[in-house]
Chains A and B, each alone.
Chain A
Amino acid sequence: MALLEVENLTVSFKTDEGIVTVLHNASYAVEAGEVLAIVGESGSGKSVAMMAVMGLLPRTAEIMADKILFNGHDFLKLTGQERRRLMGKEIAMIFQEPMAGLNPCFTVGAQLDETLQAHEKMGRKARRERSIELLTAVGIPEPERRLKSYPHEMSGGQCQRVMIAIAISCNPKLLIADEPTTALDVTIQKQILDLLISLQTQYGMGLIMITHDMGVVAETADRVVVQYNGRKMEEADVVQLFSNPKNSYTKALLAARPENAEGGRLQIVSDILDDVEGAMQ
Chain B
Amino acid sequence: MTMATFEKIASLNLHKRPGFLVGAFILTMSALLALFPGFFAPFDPNAFNYSALKQPPSADHWFGTDNLGRDTFSRVIWAYSINMQMAIVATVFAMLIGVIVGALVGYYGGIADAIFGRCVDAIITFPFLVLVIAVVAVLGPGLTNMYIAITLVGWVYYARLMRAEIMGQMANEYATAGKVIGCSDMRIIFRHLLPNAITPVLTYWMTDMALAILLGSSLGYLGLGAQPPTAEWGVLIAEGRNFITTAWWLSLMPGIAIVLTGLGFSLVGDSVADLMRPRG
Interface residues, chain A, with chain B CB atoms under 8 Å away: 54-56, 59, 80, 84-89, 92-93, 95-97, 100-106, 114-115, 118-119, 148, 163, 166
Q: Is the CB of B172 within 8 A of A115?
A: no
Q: Which residue of A lies closest to B181 (CB)?
A: A88
Q: Which residue of B lies closest to A92 (CB)?
A: B180
A45–chain B nearest beta-carbon distance, Å: 18
The 8 closest A-B pairs by CB, nearest first: A88-B181, A88-B182, A105-B195, A87-B182, A101-B173, A84-B182, A100-B172, A100-B173
Complex: A101 Cα to B183 Cα, angstroms: 15
Q: Is the CB of B183 within 8 A of A118?
A: yes
Interface string of B169-182 (1 = CB under 8 A from A): 00011101111111
Most buried by B among A56, A80, A105, A148: A105
Complex: A218 Cα to B227 Cα, angstroms: 80
B121–chain A nearest beta-carbon distance, Å: 21
Is there a chain A Cβ closer than 8 Å to B127's Cβ? no
Is there a chain A Cβ closer than 8 Å to B192's Cβ? yes
Interface string of B187-202 (1 = CB under 8 A from A): 0000010011000000
B186–chain A nearest beta-carbon distance, Å: 11
Interface size (B, Cβ < 8 Å)? 17
Q: Is the CB of B183 within 8 A of A84?
A: yes
Q: Which residue of A lies closest to B198 (CB)?
A: A105
Task: Please judge, given known A-B contacts A59-B110, A103-B192, A105-B195, whether A87 and B181 are in contact too, CB under 8 Å.
Answer: yes
Is there a chain A Cβ closer than 8 Å to B125's Cβ? no
B105–chain A nearest beta-carbon distance, Å: 14
Known: A102-B177, A103-B192. 6 other contacts (CB 8 A): A56-B180, A100-B174, A101-B172, A103-B174, A104-B174, A119-B182
| 13 A-B pairs whose Cβ atoms sit less than 8 Å apart in the complex | A54-B179, A84-B183, A84-B184, A86-B182, A87-B181, A88-B182, A92-B180, A92-B181, A96-B173, A101-B172, A101-B177, A102-B174, A104-B196
Q: Is the CB of A95 within 8 A of B179?
A: no
Q: Hey, which chain A residues are within 8 Å of B183, CB to CB? A: 84, 114, 118
Q: Is the CB of A87 within 8 A of B174?
A: no
A233–chain B nearest beta-carbon distance, Å: 27
Q: Hey, which chain B residues are within 8 Å of A85, CB to CB? A: 182
Q: Is the CB of B182 within 8 A of A95?
A: no
Complex: A95 Cα to B172 Cα, angstroms: 11
Q: Is the CB of B182 within 8 A of A93?
A: no
Q: Is the CB of B180 within 8 A of A87?
A: yes
